[in-house]
Amino acid sequence: MKRESFEIGTFVHVYNRGNRKQPIVRDAKDRWHFLQMLYYFNNETLFANPFREARESLKTNFHGNQLFWPSIWGERKPIVRVIAFALVENHFHFLLKETTKNGISRFMKRIGIGMAKYFNTRHKEVGALFQGAYKAKAVREDVYLQYISVYIQVKNIFGLYPGGIEVALKDFDKSYDWVAKYPYCSLGDYAEKRSSPIIEKDLLGEMFPTSEKYKEFSRQCLTRMNLEVQLGELILE
């Protein structure tokens, strides 16, 4: 199937899930490797084994919470901008911006191949990790960009909150702070809990100049309206 090409400057919602809805990550090590791929694969030059090279450059145990760019690699030149992301057990969502020609296509090819190879090697599995090719939908309007960002990095992780999304909505402040501390989504960057080298806030950051404004918008989206209706499409659950 031929992939849609996106114009430079286009925001795109990208998602995929595990084959037969099975897990694409099984533990903290898998999830950390996912973050590493988001960082190291988003570069004009694709190094043969960036994880090993970064570990050797650090000369320490690389399995930690630091994303390190070795100076021997030269200047990092991203091929896309990662505006928001969320990883749960059996699927992921990205909000990306096309900043180089076919950048999203190249980036997603690296992610798909890299995740499948890593997962099958580490867990001694064979076959497809994902249910098929990733889905990609251009975000043409600012209001849709705002809504989809909440869907990706807030509502998706509310589903992981103890008791589920219904419990999370009853105590929004507490559950929002819980999600902001979840390492495998980007809300922590917008809540000013961290500053990840993966994320570039871009237009979304301009729309919400303070973390409190974004939090209040998220509250309105999730407690006063049906977010899927506002988005006007069926979205991967």
Task: Give the pLDDT score at 3.
Answer: 63
Q: Which of 113, 136, 159 is the last residue of a domain?
A: 136
Domain that holds residue 194: 141-224
Angle between helices 142-150 and 211-223 (to 10 degrees): 80
Residue 182: inside a domain, yes or no?
A: yes
What value does the CA radius of gyration of the chain take, rounded to a whole number of Å?
17
Task: Give the pLDDT score at 52.
Answer: 74
Domain count, the chain: 2
How does DSSP classify residue 90?
A: S
Residue 127 has pLDDT above 70, yes or no: yes
Record the tokens describing residue 72, joined without a space.
């021997």
H/E/C letters for each residue in 17-79? EEHHHCCCCCCHHHHHHHHHHHHHCCCCCCCCCHHHHHHHHHCCCCCCCCCCCCHHHCCCCCC
Do 108 and 187 reside in the same domain of the chain? no
Residue 85: inside a domain, yes or no?
A: yes
Q: Which of 115, 136, 157 is the last residue of a domain?
A: 136
Do 158 and 205 reside in the same domain of the chain? yes
Task: Give the pLDDT score at 154.
Answer: 96
Do 161 and 128 reside in the same domain of the chain? no
Angle between helices 103-123 and 28-40 (to 10 degrees): 150
Q: Which of 136, 168, 194 is the last residue of a domain?
A: 136
Residue 2: inside a domain, yes or no?
A: no
Task: Give the pLDDT score at 236.
Answer: 41
Residue pLDDT, tens place only, 76-125: 999 999 999 999 999 999 999 999 999 999 999 999 999 999 999 999 99
Task: Give the pLDDT score at 202.
Answer: 78
Q: What is the pTM of this model?
A: 0.90
Do 150 and 205 reside in the same domain of the chain? yes
Do 66 and 84 reside in the same domain of the chain? yes
**Per-residue confidence band for 213, with pLDDT thresholds at 50, 70 and 90:** very high
Do 131 and 156 reside in the same domain of the chain? no
Residue 59 has pLDDT above 90, yes or no: no
Residue 230 has pLDDT above 80, yes or no: no
Do 157 and 117 reside in the same domain of the chain? no
* 88-127 core/surface letters (b: 16 or more CB in 10 A; e: else): bebbbbbbbbbbeeebbbbbbebbbebbbebbeeeeeeee
Residue pLDDT, tens place only, 179-193: 999 999 999 999 999
Residue 126: inside a domain, yes or no?
A: yes
Task: Give the pLDDT score at 1.
Answer: 44
Rounded Cα distance between 148 and 228, Å, is: 9
Phi, psi angle pair for 187, to nearest 5°: -60, -35
What mean pLDDT do residues 220-230 have? 70
Do 37 and 121 reside in the same domain of the chain? yes
Residue 74: inside a domain, yes or no?
A: yes
| Higher pLDDT, residue 211 or 64 | 211
Residue 230: inside a domain, yes or no?
A: no
